[in-house]
């Protein structure tokens, strides 16, 4: 890929520049799904609940979607 090329990803018709983060938090509980793009080292995240909760807890101070997802997990 050329040095000046950008990787883009489209979600709900909106393009996201992947250089700004490859982790997408999506809250489907809202009437219109809320999407937040986050820069995070994905190699440190596993599919295990404990790993996801740890990442969401870290992000919740600055992310409404992370906070909402944590509340959803706590209610289960």
8-65 pLDDT per residue, tens: 888 888 888 988 999 999 998 888 889 999 998 889 899 998 999 999 999 999 999 9
Q: How sure is the predictor about 6, in pLDDT bands with cuts at 50, 70 and 90?
A: confident
Distance between CA atoms of residues 20 and 40, nearest Å: 10
Are residues 39 and 23 in contact, defined by beta-carbon separation less than 8 angstroms? yes
Number of helical H runs and strand E runs in the chain: 2, 4
Tell me the whole-structure pTM to 2 decimals: 0.78
Task: Report the 10 Å Cβ neighbour count for 60.
Answer: 16
């Amino acid at each position: 890929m050329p040095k000046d090329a950008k990787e883009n990803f489209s979600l709900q018709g909106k393009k996201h520049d992947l250089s700004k983060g490859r982790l997408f938090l999506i809250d489907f509980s809202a009437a219109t799904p809320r999407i937040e793009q986050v820069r995070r080292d994905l190699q440190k995240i596993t599919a295990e609940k404990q790993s996801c909760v740890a990442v969401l807890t870290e992000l919740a101070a600055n992310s409404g979607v992370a906070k909402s997802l944590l509340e959803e997990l706590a209610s289960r």
